[in-house]
Amino acid sequence: MEKVRLITWLIILMMLIGLSLIKFSPIDLFYSSQTVQKYYSSENYEQALEYVNRRIELFPRDSELFSEKGYILTEIGKPQKALEALNHALAINPSLDPALNNKSFVLFQLGRFEEALIYARQSIEIKPNKEAEYINLGNILSAMDRNQEALTYYEMALLIDPTNSHALYGKGKSHYYLDDLEEALAFFHKYNKLVPNDIDVLWYLVYTNDHMGRLDAALQVLNQILESDQTEAEAYYYKASLLFELNEEKKALAVYDAMIERFPEETSGYYGKSRSLIRMGKIEEGFNLLEEASQLETITGK
C-alpha cells in the first residue's frame, strides 16, 4: 500500500515538474511482477533473470530488484551469486524482509547455519505475522539438531496457518528426531492428507511405523511408495525385509526376486535374499546366491 501511494505521488510530481521518471526515482515503478510470475510458473528462471537484470540496469538503486535477483539465482542453483545480490539489496535497504529471509535461506543452503539464524530472526522481527519466516527459522534449528527449539517456531507458524504443509512436515520431522513417534506420526499423516504421495514423507511414515513396531502399517506405506515410484530399489528391499519379519517368507522371496529382476546391478537384493534363504534353512542355495552377490559387487563396485 505504501509503495502504491509513493508511486502515485511520484507520478503526480513528475507531471508537475516535468522530470523523467527513470532519472528521478530509485524505484522501478514499471517493474512487472506478473511477467516474472509467468516465468516462474513455467520454471523459466533464466528468462526471469534476464528481465530483472534489464530492470536493474535502469534502476540500480532498487533494493527489491536485487532481492528478486537473489531469489532467482537461488532457484537456479547459484547460491554464492545469490548472496552477492541479496547483500546488495540489504546494503540499499537493511530492513527489506524478502532479502533477509532469502539471505537466511541461502546461508542455510551453504551450511552456514549460525549466520542463517541471525537473518531469520531479523526477518521475524520485521514480519512477525508471516508463517514462512517461522518455518525458515525452524528448518535451520532442525538442521542444527536443535529440534526442541525448532518445534516452537513450527508451532508459531501453525498458529498463523494451521494447514501450512511445510510447518506440519517440519513439526513431524522434529518430533521424529526427538523420538516422539506418536506425535511425529500424527503430523506426517496431516501433511500426507494435504500433499498426498510425497515420497519423502512416505518414507518418514515407513520409518516411524517400523520404529513403533507397526510393521503392517509400514508395509502399507511401502506399497504406496512402490505404486507411485517403482524406481525405488530401497522400497523393494525394505518391503521384503518387513515381510520376512512378519513370517511371510514366500512373499519376501518374491519381492527380492522382483528387485533382482528390476535392479540386476543392486547387490542388496542378492544379499537380502541369500540371508533369507539361509534363515529358512536353505543353506546351500543361500550361500550360492551370496557368492553370486560377492562376485557382482567386485564387478560393479556396489
Query: Considering the domain boundaries, does residue 289 fall inside one?
Result: yes
Structural domain for 301, as ranges: 230-302
Query: Considering the domain boundaries, does residue 111 fall inside one?
Result: no
**Residue 16: band (very low, low, confident or very high) from pLDDT cuts 50, 70, 90:** very low
Query: Considering the domain boundaries, does residue 24 fall inside one?
Result: no
- Asked if residue 106 has pLDDT above 60, the reply is yes
What pLDDT does 17 receive? 46
Query: Considering the domain boundaries, does residue 25 fall inside one?
Result: no
Cβ distance 253 to 276 under 8 Å? Answer: yes
- Of 160, 162, 161, 188, nearest in space to 174 by CA: 188
Model confidence pLDDT, tens digit, residues 18-60: 444 445 557 877 788 889 999 999 999 999 999 999 999 999 9
Alpha carbon dihedral 216, 217, 222, 225, in 10-degree steps, equals 150
* Residue length of the chain: 302
Query: Considering the domain boundaries, does residue 249 fall inside one?
Result: yes
State the Cα–Cα distance between residues 168 and 158, nearest whole angstrom: 8
Planar angle of CA 36, 40, 44, nearest 5 degrees: 100
> Residue 71 is placed in which grid cell?
531469489
Query: Considering the domain boundaries, does residue 238 fall inside one?
Result: yes
Query: Considering the domain boundaries, does residue 200 fall inside one?
Result: no
> Residue 101 is placed in which grid cell?
529471509
Query: Considering the domain boundaries, does residue 283 fall inside one?
Result: yes
* Domains of the chain: total: 1
State the Cα–Cα distance between residues 268 and 2, nearest whole angstrom: 61
**Residue 126: band (very low, low, confident or very high) from pLDDT cuts 50, 70, 90:** very high
Model confidence pLDDT, tens digit, residues 210-261: 999 999 999 999 999 999 988 889 999 999 999 999 999 999 999 999 999 9
With 0-12 CB in 10 A as exposed, 13-18 as middle and 19+ as buried, what is 180?
Answer: middle
Give CA 53 to chain center in angstroms.
27
Give CA 135 to chain center in angstroms.
12
Cβ distance 136 to 100 under 8 Å? Answer: no
What pLDDT does 43 receive? 93
What pLDDT does 31 receive? 80
State the Cα–Cα distance between residues 101 and 127, nearest whole angstrom: 10
> Residue 146 is placed in which grid cell?
536443535
The model's pTM is: 0.83
User: What H or E segment, with its residue span, contains residue 181?
Assistant: helix 181-194
CATH number at residue 288: 1.25.40.10
Q: What is the DSSP string of 270-284?
A: HHHHHHHHHHTT-HH
